[in-house]
Amino acid sequence: MMMQLAGKKALVTGASRGIGMAIALAYAVEGADVAVTGRSLEKLAPVVDKMHAMGRKAVALEWDVSCVKGVDSRIEETAEKLGGLDLVVNNAGVIRSERFLSVTEEGWDAVMDTNLKGLYFSCQAAANHMIKKGIKGRIINIASDAGLRGAPVPYGISKWGVIGLTKGIAGLLLPHGILVAAIAPGPVTTEMMNWEPGKPVEITSPFGRMAYPEEIAQLAVFLASQGASRIAGDTIVINGGL
């Protein structure tokens, strides 16, 4: 069976666990060489080992996306280590437990710096690299259905911004052959869902369960494939009918 991403070079941020890890592994299964980022090389090591076992080139980069200084050089470093860069998945994200009436400036900045500011400049650096190299690549941003429902807390607002950014830059990059799209998952069985200590998450869904990270990853594979060659600026919601 032909692999959908054979020969592609991909970067997945925030890939030590959850959705990011699932996307990185799914890309490797489909033939891509993959660079993964996170704040701990130790936590990224098992992901890299699994991709190496598939016969893929895989590299880990210690990278806090909230620190945007030097992001251009990090993208260039990634491309150099992989031998190119065709796909960028901006997945890294954080969530905090404060409610609207108790959000602090520090809490606001902690979320926005990673979820929106970091993602914005990652998109910019990836786009500049692809344009400079003449690469007709893909940029896939991980948003959330929380960004579509109206949100009184920084997490949902940041994801609303991701959806708007995706739409806004898609038209600018399309003439360069670069396609930009976003995925807006509903609740997924990841550690991030346990963001409020002592309060187990209960989700009512027509499916009777939350999504698995691997299900989100399959959509990310599609958006990186030739089958998604007409998708630009769109946010695909995958929330199980909620």
In this structure, what CATH number is given to the domain that contains residue 15? Answer: 3.40.50.720
Residue 27 domain flag: yes
Backbone angles phi, psi at 95, to 5 degrees: -140, 150
Q: Is 27 annotated as catalytic?
A: no
Residue 3 domain flag: no
Residue 160 domain flag: yes
Catalytic residue, candidates 27, 120, 155, 212: 155
Tell me what pLDDT residue 222 has. Answer: 99
Residues sharing a CB contact under 8 Å with residue 156, sequence separation 6 or more, in sequence order: 144, 146, 147, 149, 150
Tell me what pLDDT residue 200 has. Answer: 52
Tell me what pLDDT residue 86 has. Answer: 98
Q: Which DSSP string corresponds to 110-146?
A: HHHIIIIIIHHHHHHHHHHHHHHHT---EEEEE--GG
Tell me what pLDDT residue 204 has. Answer: 63
Tell me what pLDDT residue 112 has. Answer: 97
For 136, the domain range is: 9-238
One pLDDT digit (tens) per residue for the chain, 242 residues:
689 999 999 999 999 999 999 999 999 999 999 999 999 999 999 999 999 999 999 999 999 999 999 999 999 999 999 999 999 999 999 998 889 999 999 999 999 999 999 999 999 999 999 999 999 999 999 999 999 988 889 999 999 999 999 999 999 999 999 999 999 999 898 766 554 554 555 566 788 788 899 999 999 999 999 999 999 999 999 998 87
Residue 4 domain flag: no
Residue 75 domain flag: yes
Distance of CA 193 to the CA centre of its chain: 16
Number of structural domains the chain divides into: 1
Residue 126 domain flag: yes
Residue 217 domain flag: yes
DSSP3 helix / strand / coil % (the chain, rounded to 5): 45, 15, 40
Residue 193 domain flag: yes
